[in-house]
Amino acid sequence: MKKHKNALLGILFLTLAVSFLSGVFLLDEFGEKKTVKIVFIPKVQDKTNDFWMSMISGAKSAGKEYQANLVILAPDEENDYETQKRYIEEAVKMKPDAIALAPIRYSEMTDCVKQVTDAGIKLILIDSKLDQNLEETYIGTDNRNAGLQMGQKMRDYVGPDTKIAVVSHVKGSSTAIEREEGLREGLGEDQSKIKMVLYSNSDYNQAYEKTIELMKTNPDITLIAGLNLYSTVGVARAIREMNLSKKVHVVGFDNDIEGIQYLEEGIIDTLIVQKPFNMGYIGIQTAVESVRGKKPDKNIYCDTEVITADNIYTDENQKLLFPF
Amino acid sequence: MRIEVRFKSIRTNMIIYFSLLVLLTVTVFLFFSIRFTKSNLMDNSEKNSRQLIEQVNFNIENYIDYMENISQVIMNNRDITGYLFDDGTETGEGLKEAFQTILHARTDIYNIAVLGDNGRYFINNGSDSLNLRARLKDKEWYQDAKTAESKILISSSHVQNLVKNDYKWVVTLSRGITNPATGRVEGLLVIDLNYDVINDLCESISLGNKGYVYILDRKGEIVYHPQQQLILSGVKKELLREVSASKTSLTHIDENGENKIYTPFHSQKTGWTIVGVNYTSELAGNEVAMKTMYTGAAFLLILLACLFAVFLSAKITKPIKQLQAAMKEVQEGKFQPVSIETAGEDEISSLTHSFNSMTERIDELMKKNSKEQAEKRKSELKALQSQINPHFLYNTLDSIIWLIETEDSEQAINMTSVLARFFRQAIGNSNIYVTVWQELEYTRNYLLIQQMRYKDKVAFDIRVDSEVMECAIVKLVLQPLVENALYHGLKYKTEQGNILIFGYRQDETVILKVMDDGVGMTKEALNCIFQKKTDQKHNGVGMKNIQDRLNMYYGPGYGLSVDSREGEGTTVTITIPYRQMEDVNEET
């Protein structure tokens, strides 16, 4: 009985000591967060592709800041969706907390992506969506809003006799539909001036050839909108070659060095530019926060910037247009 | 209900207070140790990051120095003014050679260019042409360079689009060129340093895992920041003007609630502010290990102290407990076993020692006292037992006189001889013990005398087994009982009374019974029979006296028992151990 009492007292004191000390000194350690493991699968990693390099460096920046264990698996070519599917399977085997994916195809890889959510891994979609709603959240450009920005800007170039042509990219793709809808809304009543919509199928040459053909058959067109980089650059090449830059206004989407040169030269009047660095950063940031239990919004949009020849070299824009 | 915890034992108290004391001490010590070590860690890492930043600054200034040297070399080249301001006679071959040499030697220099206000220019090897759409006059760096006249100016980081089809991130050194003919600044020397140099310098610095370096120009605008795009597009916030104005380190909590330390370094040469950013949580990287170690050590200490308290308290309180147990026994009256072992010379030991000698002394005194008491009792009893009722003697002598007067000389002689025998037995023997036979004879003589006095009023019979005749019995036990029977039982009876004495052995005891058929006793009288010490009325020996003597000599379990019924008679039973005279003689 006595012995038990002593043992009990001892235990009582130890418990007291342990709880007291941990209470005082380990309080801030409770906030210590565990390392989150994330696999990021962009569409491509290619030093010449500024858009994706910028997104990847944004992702890395967030990875460093949030001390995430970030693995990047990227195909060498932007259309290689088979490789991307293989990377998705590989990523699932690595058992990360979250996978951030920029799917190359809208519907062909949905089944493959299902493995991610089936394995209980959080799926974050960046830049592009899938035909099924599998993701925790989507981070990308609000294409409709970007189209709206473009449409509103285009009204600067609309006169009474203006006739508009739209060179879209892939017919039926979500971005093409949303951007065109936004563009028409931005134009308002001037949308009646749209005479035709062409599709470049994301190919410089098709865009170029279709523009040459268009200008030959419809020489009264004075405003052309390119809905992605391929369409825009293709159109600009054609206009430059046909020496129509004085007569035809070109507005476009996305940027590369060629596009910016056309902007400086005055062939392209306006570019709507996305913010891939921010997308990559916010994508990984959201993934980390989501793993740590913060419920993200269903869609997180990164805004777009309207670039004209006058504001290329502002502090903000030169960093956006010329990543290093 | 109020719960009141009261710790009763000294040991529990000791454990509790000792443990609390240790806990408090260790906790306070731990608290200050951690704080001190933490501030030390902070100081060290601040010093460390300051050193790193100074290193970055040193490297950058080195580059700038070098560029200035180059600019000086170029400015000294007379071909420049000749090429820019003379009327096209200079082909630029001299310039080409000078520029080539530098560009070959330094890959970190992108462009070297001289631009004249008159539109003449020479870029790198001369084959690069000026980007006609560059709109140089809109560029901040160009405007600054123009207003600075002939001074050397370092620009912030920017995209250089001076050269056609070339867009590079650079830091530009510019310097006005004076036309010797007019004495006015009419041209500009431009040297572009590859921005990668600064980028790599800053990225190669590691301030923990998350910490980073950024650079601001004299206007507080970003020259380099790893998250420049996020900051410029408003996704993130960064300390800009505050840091470039501050000379000392700043702490700041960012939008994620992270505590950061900003250490700025202001470069005189470039006018830039190089800022190192540390996360306090990372400085605490070591802190976690340090805390874990300290806290672990503290746990161990407390554990040891608690164990120590348990053992120490046991050691201290053990003799106290022994003493306590011993005192309890003393309190209950047992002096005998109280003797505690003492070791050492501490207070408790000396206390125990004193206690031991005290109990010994008390025990001694007690023994002495009880021995004296017993002696006193014995002598008292001795006096008592030799006491013979004087009335008995007077009455007997009266009877003898009366017999002589009536000339019944035979009876007188008889009575006198019986009386003589009776007295011889009563006085002559000084022993405590006599044989049952002797005691019976004595009693018989007494009874004979009484019979002679009262004629036929008393009849008696003695039936004792011969087996017990030689047994020892305390003297003067039977006769007083018989006397009592006569005076209390038979005296008040009108017809003849009988007294019967039985004696036999029962196992290891001897039973003697004195029975009479007198008036008997009431229950109340029976109950208080052992209370009176002497029979006041008859000056005889009381029942209590006999009982006390029997108890004293034979111990408990032996003695008298009385059975009586009113009107029928009384039986007194003596129980004594079965012992021969030889066994008891030495006891006297």
Residues of A in contact with B222 (CB under 8 A): 315
* B8 CB within 8 Å of a chain A CB: no
Residues of A in contact with B310 (CB under 8 A): 6, 9-10
What global pTM score does this model have? 0.63
CA of A271 vs chain B CAs: smallest distance (Å): 17
A:246-305 residues touching chain B, CB 8 A cutoff:
257, 260-261, 264-266, 275, 277-278, 281-282, 303, 305
Handedness of CA B519, B524, B526, B530 (dihedral sign): negative
* A92 CB within 8 Å of a chain B CB: no
CA of A136 vs chain B CAs: smallest distance (Å): 21
* A94 CB within 8 Å of a chain B CB: no
pLDDT at B382: 65
Burial annotation A252-290 (CB, 10 A radius, 16+ → b, else e): bbbbeebbbbbbbeebbbbbbbbbbbbbbbbbbbbbbbb
Does the structure show a pLDDT above 50 at B335? yes
Mean of pLDDT over chain B: 83
- Facing A278 at nearest CB: one of B12, B230, B306: B230
* A58 CB within 8 Å of a chain B CB: yes
Does the structure show a pLDDT above 70 at A17? no
| pLDDT band, very low/low/confident/very high, at B385 (cuts 50, 70, 90) | low
Residues of B in contact with A315 (CB under 8 A): 221-222, 232
| pLDDT band, very low/low/confident/very high, at B588 (cuts 50, 70, 90) | very low
- Facing A322 at nearest CB: one of B131, B159, B199: B159
CA of B474 vs chain A CAs: smallest distance (Å): 55
Handedness of CA B107, B109, B110, B114 (dihedral sign): negative
Distance, C-alpha A75 to centroid of its chain:
17
Closest residue of B to A54, CA-based?
A: B229
* A8 CB within 8 Å of a chain B CB: no
Burial annotation B25-40 (CB, 10 A radius, 16+ → b, else e): ebbeebeebbeebbee
Q: What is the pLDDT of residues B478-514, one digit of tens each?
A: 888 888 888 888 888 878 889 999 999 998 899 999 9
pLDDT at A144: 92
Does the structure show a pLDDT above 60 at A175? yes
DSSP A232: H
pLDDT at A30: 47
- Which among A16, A35, A324 is the top mutation candidate for probing chain B, defined by the most B β-carbons within 10 Å of its own β-carbon? A324
CB contact under 8 A, A32 and B226: no
Residues of A in contact with B195 (CB under 8 A): 324
- Facing A318 at nearest CB: one of B15, B158, B299: B158
B:227-286 residues touching chain A, CB 8 A cutoff:
227-230, 232-233, 235
Closest residue of B to A303, CA-based?
A: B233
Q: Residue B440: enclosing H or E segment and its boundaries?
A: helix B436-454
* A16 CB within 8 Å of a chain B CB: yes
Mean of pLDDT over chain A: 87
* A14 CB within 8 Å of a chain B CB: yes
Q: What is the pLDDT of residues B25-74, one digit of tens each?
A: 888 988 898 888 878 877 887 788 888 889 889 988 988 888 898 899 88
CB B30 within 8 A of CB A25: yes
* A320 CB within 8 Å of a chain B CB: yes
Interface contacts A/B by beta carbons within 8 Å: 111
Assess: ipTM above 0.95: no
B:163-182 residues touching chain A, CB 8 A cutoff:
165, 167, 169
CB B362 within 8 A of CB B331: no
CB contact under 8 A, B235 and A281: yes
Q: What is the pLDDT of residues B208-267, one digit of tens each?
A: 788 889 999 888 888 899 888 888 878 888 888 888 888 888 888 887 778 888 888 998
Handedness of CA B95, B100, B101, B103 (dihedral sign): positive
Tokens of B71: 């600019």
